Amino acid sequence: MILLQTNVDFFVAPDPRQGIIFGLIFLGLIVIAVVGSKISGAGSSGGSSTSSASFLERASFRRQARKAGLSRPQAKLLDRMAQKHPTADRMRLLTRMRSLDRLIVRAMATAEAESTSEYIREQTKFELLQIRSILGRMDGAGSPVKSSRKLRPGIPVTIRTSDKQQYESRVVASSDQLLGLEAPGPEPKEHYGWPKGAPLVILFDGGGDGLFGFKTKVAGYRTRRGASVMYVDHSDTISSAQKRKSPRKDFGNPAYFFPVLVVTEGRGRNRKKRAVVDSAKRQLGTIQDISAGGCGLRARTSLGTGTLIKISFEVRQGTPVNVFGKVLSAEPGYRGTLLHVKFTKVSRMHMNEIMAYVYGYTDERQERVYG
């Protein structure tokens, strides 16, 4: 027989510290379970961790875009386009114009298809082209041609003399030692006859983003296929002569141009000035090259510096473009006078047409001659 000892406690009163520890352990297990389920869910569906990484990547991209010269809205627009049209390495959009061009072409096509109004469509296209313009000025610093030996026949050049006079010409031949240029002159079979050894500067367009040139000397003349050819020494030192704000591209399309008259109407406080296009004095010319800022217009007759004109031409078949401009200078030549025109008023739609052509997004040009 076992005697029960009444002085022994079978149930010990619980220690409050142990309850707290147990509660913390239980809460910890719950937290671990919840976090684990979220991690596994994110891994299976590309959830929060991927989104966080994408957000950081986009934020970094926008910062770099701002450093490259874009405004905050432009950086956001480029980011949105890169999201809509995925790019393998979005950072290349800021330094590689081919990658950027591919994206902009797709984005402009999307804007054309999705925009609910003409204003939104043209505004989006304009902003995309402005992004291309800004980043294009950051791309590369040197001439694409390292030696005058790389200049091929047919390339237009400008000859600058020691007295700062400029004459249009083109490359017609090239040998190991000499470069042959179409000899400028007052008549097709005459040339100005600069003496042998006369210093010259030869300027050429470096792919649209700037003007490049080199110093040389006259080496002599020769008649080639019935035309006078001036030979100059080659140079391996090509330097930047002008970094254009607006890239320029050869055009070669016909254009009508009209003088614009500024007339004053009314008296006193009601006096106003109005621009009037003189349609009766229409002339036919050829736009030699074009940019967002202006064009080179070759005409049969010369116009004075400061003359206001309206120019009508087509970039694409059936798409007329009208611009207003001011003649900055005129260079006479045997092929007509080259008028350097600065654009003063262009609609957003027509500016988009011009810039799209300049950047190679629209390479269709009119071949017919206006009647």
Report the C-alpha gap between 201 and 158 in whole angstroms: 8
Output the CATH code of domain 248-358: 2.40.10.220
Query: Distance (Å, rounded) from C-alpha 149 to C-alpha 151?
Result: 6
Instruction: Read off the pLDDT band of 34 (50, 70, 90).
Output: low
Judge whether 148-243 and 248-358 match in fold: no
Q: Is the pLDDT of residue 234 over 80?
A: yes
Q: Which residue has the tokens 């149930």?
A: 11
45 pLDDT above the threshold of 80? no
Q: Rounded distance, CA 81 to CA 87, Å? A: 10
Provide the pLDDT confidence category of residue 371 given band limits of 50, 70 and 90: very low
| Helix, strand or coil, per DSSP, at residue 106 | helix
- Indicate the average pLDDT of the chain: 81
What pLDDT band is residue 15 in, cutting at 50, 70 and 90? low
Is the pLDDT assigned to residue 126 strictly greater than 90? yes
Q: Which residues contact 184 (CB under 8 A, 6 or more apart)?
A: 159, 167, 168, 169, 191, 192, 333, 334
Domain boundaries, the chain: 52-138, 148-243, 248-358
The 3 state secondary structure assigned to 116-177 is CCHHHHHHHHHHHHHHHHHHHHHCCCCCCCCCHHHCCCCCEEEEECCCCCEEEEEEEEECCC
Task: Tell me the pLDDT tens digit for each residue of 252-271.
Answer: 899 999 999 988 888 878 88
pLDDT band at residue 368, thresholds of 50, 70 and 90? very low
Tell me which of 143 and 74 has the higher pLDDT.
74
CATH of the domain spanning 148-243:
2.30.110.10
Q: Which among 336, 280, 341 is positioned nearest to 306, based on CA atoms?
A: 341
- The pLDDT of residue 37 is above 80: no
